[in-house]
Chain A
Amino acid sequence: MNVGSQADRTLSLNMTLLSHHELDGFGGVGEGVAMQMAKDGRRILWLAHESAPKNFTAVDVSDPRAPKMVVQTDLPHAQVRSNSLEVSGDTLAVAYQTKQVGMKPAGFDLFDISVPEKPRLIAHFDASGPHSRGAHCLWFVDGETVHMASGAADFQPRNPKDDQFYRIIDVRNPSKPTEVGRWWYPGTREGDSEPPVRRMPKFDSGYRAHNTNAYPERPDRAYIGYIDGGAVILDISDRAQPKLVANWRHSPPNTGFTHTVMPLPKRELLIVTDECTKDDGADWPKMTWVVDNRDETNPVPIATFPLPPVEVFAKRGGRYGSHNLHENPPVKCAHRDDRIVLATFFNGGMRAFDISNPYQPVEVGYFVPGAPKMSPKGSVQINDVYWDDRGVVFCVDRFAGGLYAVEMKI
């Protein structure tokens, strides 16, 4: 008997639902969740949609028990998705990735959101090209630089799956974003002197950048999940010429898709996630790793987060495995923590782990909503998480459920 999957049920431990907002029927949210402290004191949560027709939605979460939608925007056509966004001050950066190479818009937009109800386009950075699908994910926390995973007009990958690489864009003059540096995995670009990269034997997902994080504690470093290329740490002290510091590869034997590399500088640790991209446990296990980064040229894995039983969750419907983290963004409204890590696991919901002992992470709470109405997978697919400085946690569903505000008792 397996009665444990309970896809229709909300499961929780040490977490309580404060509110649920279905975003007016467009409850599919990608992996862009960022909070703005508006000039009038309102807290506005900005959400990038997972796919068309909607671009992004802003929700006033000043009272997390009574969220109110402020604005919801449309994409120009159904062949483009936003997926990722970030907020710095009153500037919003939104990524655009097209379904096919050569399409537009591909790149990112900058919006002035000083009046949240009326986002005003400042500039579009065009990353389209004959071999580019544009930007999948971006990081923008200091008001000056967009770090992103994107293709470019002048970049021809040897393999079409390797089209998005790390690009550094100076946006100090927001009306004229300018590329100041880039790095791609050696051997992935046509014309590289290095040999072609080894494809993953089981699931060939590509050697592409995914999350491209940089923190003020280490302004000279970029931490990049490079999908099938593993975790990449770059020295970006000279932005024009990023240099490889370390590349931690753990696939094969694992099945690739390294997604996020989050440093915990004071603890000399990295938290690394591998995204689950297959339904029904086909790519299990997709784990979240604790990596010893004391010698940053030699990252050493020391633990993985204890995941809830695959026997239960693989049968819940859709994907089950690691994905996003609350990434400790160094911005005004975000909580930052190097003891409790919040992570999302699609149908495994949002989970909190205590890594006080980094060799032995312990799950200390979870929130797994029951299957949202109209869920195509028959289960929730919690995609991303954001922990604000009041202690409120927001998580989003990939397809239908929209936004959940949660109070943690830990």
Chain B
Amino acid sequence: MSSNGFTLAGGRDPFAGRIPISVITGFLGSGKTTLLKKLLRHPEMCNAAVIVNEFGEESIDHELLETSSERMALLDNGCLCCTVRTDLQETLRDILTKRLHGQVIQFDRVFVETTGLADPAPVVQTLASDSLLADKFRLDCVVTLVDAVNGLQQLDTLNEPLKQAAIADRLLLSKTDLARPEQVAALRARLADINPQAVLIEVVQGEVDPALLVDVGLATRNVPAEKLSRWIGPLAAPVGSSGGSGLSPHAGHSSGIESFCLWFERPFTWSSFETCMTVLTSLRGPDLLRVKGLVNVEGEAGPVVVQGVQHIFHPPATLPAWSDSDHRSRIVFITRRIERETIENLFRAVGALGTMRAG
């Protein structure tokens, strides 16, 4: 935005105007429903739509005000609540159409609750791969609940909780009031090891400040620097900067989950960058749990935002300008059984690699 004279016309803001979606995931019994119940009681959530798996005994139907069909209901605070009957894609399309025709509220935010056994990655991918949904919605946040009493054991023995934790933007530790302090401390350490990118928040009985769970994703390309660095996460904080921790690559070796940031001094051509990512996703897509990057592409005034889950990437979006003089590309990877060196070597082989240093 310019205050003196006219701004230059560029392409459409790729983020603005899309309805934010937060994915609430977590293993069975981790407290997803309790969290949603409490969250929806906050006044600023009164125009939310929530998609749950079923109106069950333990679901949020205690507050149902009006049921318009077996799949949709209005809660007493005005929120729309609906169940997924067939698949999420269809449900999202359905509520979008109904919103257009005034058959449901003009919701301004969507929460999607996954089943406890679900892999949340396909939910996130749906938002990028379905072109209708991608035009109307944007991923705001992946919130993963972890039960402080049983979480550690679940992470050690099951795949789903591990993946749920690895792709999260926010990790919520539930039932900390029921767990022993040393249990909580061990779980915190484990989660920080699996996903040092996510913000860890302890919740008791689902009580959490909604501000911590919303406005996490990019809502506009005119994003303030501080918000952009929060979005890309601590692994991409430059060493020596005030916010930077100079984190060494994190590797939860016991679980095979690694997280690291690669830095590139020289700008990419778009085709070289695209080639690297295409090779990577076609060879190891399922193990690229989450990728977020700000890429310096020749000819672009600002960084190109890239984000993906496994083999599905959101369309790249160019920001109007870099926020400071550091124009190095930075790409954060959370992977499963892919060594950092493998990815470095790939970039090197494609010839895109200038001088690179550990992030």
Contacts and interface: CB of A to CB of B under 8 A. Distances in A.
Contacts of B104: 3-4
Interface string B1-42: 111111111111100110100000000000000000000000
Interface residues of B, number: 34
Interface string A101-135: 00000000000000000000000000000000000
B219 A14 contact: yes
Interface string A258-278: 000000101100000000000
A302 to B, nearest CB: 15
B159 interface: no
A13 B102 contact: no
A309 B100 contact: yes
Interface stretch (A186-194, A204-212, A330-338): A330-338
B13 A336 contact: no
Interface string A373-410: 00000000000000001110000000000000000011
Contacts of B17: 13-14, 354, 362-365, 410
Given A354-B16, A410-B220, A4 B10 contact: no
Nearest to A337: B7
B222 interface: yes
B133 to A, nearest CB: 16
A100 interface: no
B46 A9 contact: yes
Contact of A409 (B4, B74, B220): B220
B105 interface: yes
B1 A1 contact: no
Contacts of A3: 68, 74, 102-105
A11 B12 contact: no
A365 to B, nearest CB: 7
B222 A311 contact: no
A2 interface: yes
Nearest to A306: B17
Contact of A14 (B1, B47, B78, B220): B220
B99 interface: yes
B101 interface: yes
Given A14-B17, A266-B6, A309 B108 contact: no
B281 interface: no
Q: Contact size class for A?
A: 35 or more
B105 A365 contact: no
A337 B1 contact: yes
Contacts of A336: 2, 5-6
Interface of A is mostly: loop
Interface string A313-336: 001000000000000000000011
A79 interface: no
A266 B2 CA distance: 15
Contact of B102 (A5, A264, A337, A364): A5
Interface in A1-32: 1-6, 9, 11-14
Interface in A277-305: none
Contacts of A309: 99-102
Contacts of A335: 1, 3
B106 interface: yes
B104 to A, nearest CB: 6
Interface in B61-94: 68, 74, 78
Contact of A4 (B4, B16, B103, B108): B103
Contact of A410 (B16, B78, B102, B108): B16
A356 B102 contact: no
Contacts of B108: 11-13
B102 A267 contact: no
A363 B108 CA distance: 13
A312 interface: yes
A380 to B, nearest CB: 14
B68 A338 contact: no
Contact of B9 (A5, A12, A267, A360): A267
Contact of A2 (B2, B47, B102, B215): B102
Contacts of A311: 100-102
Most chain B C-beta atoms within 10 Å of own C-beta, residue among A2, A3, A357: A3
Interface in A169-221: none
Contacts of A14: 16-17, 219-220
B220 A4 contact: no
A391 B8 CA distance: 16
A410 B13 contact: yes
Contacts of B1: 335, 337, 391
Given A365-B17, A409-B219, A9 B9 contact: no
A12 B19 CA distance: 11
Contacts of A360: 12
Contacts of B10: 339, 356
A382 to B, nearest CB: 15
B219 A356 contact: no
Contacts of A267: 9
Contacts of A363: 17
Nearest to A10: B47
Contact of A11 (B8, B13, B100, B106): B106
Contacts of B103: 1-4
Report the 9 A-B pairs with minimum CB-CB distance, sorted nearest first. Answer: A4-B102, A364-B17, A312-B102, A364-B16, A389-B3, A311-B102, A410-B16, A356-B12, A410-B220
Interface of A: 1-6, 9, 11-14, 264, 266-267, 308-309, 311-312, 315, 335-339, 354, 356-357, 360, 362-365, 389-391, 409-410
Given A14-B220, A357-B12, A362-B17, 16 more contacts: A2-B102, A3-B103, A4-B101, A4-B102, A6-B106, A14-B16, A264-B6, A309-B100, A337-B6, A338-B6, A354-B12, A356-B11, A357-B11, A360-B12, A409-B16, A409-B219
26 contacts: A2-B103, A3-B74, A3-B102, A3-B103, A4-B102, A5-B102, A6-B105, A6-B106, A9-B78, A11-B47, A266-B6, A267-B9, A309-B101, A312-B102, A312-B106, A315-B102, A337-B2, A338-B9, A339-B10, A356-B10, A357-B11, A364-B16, A365-B17, A389-B4, A391-B1, A410-B219
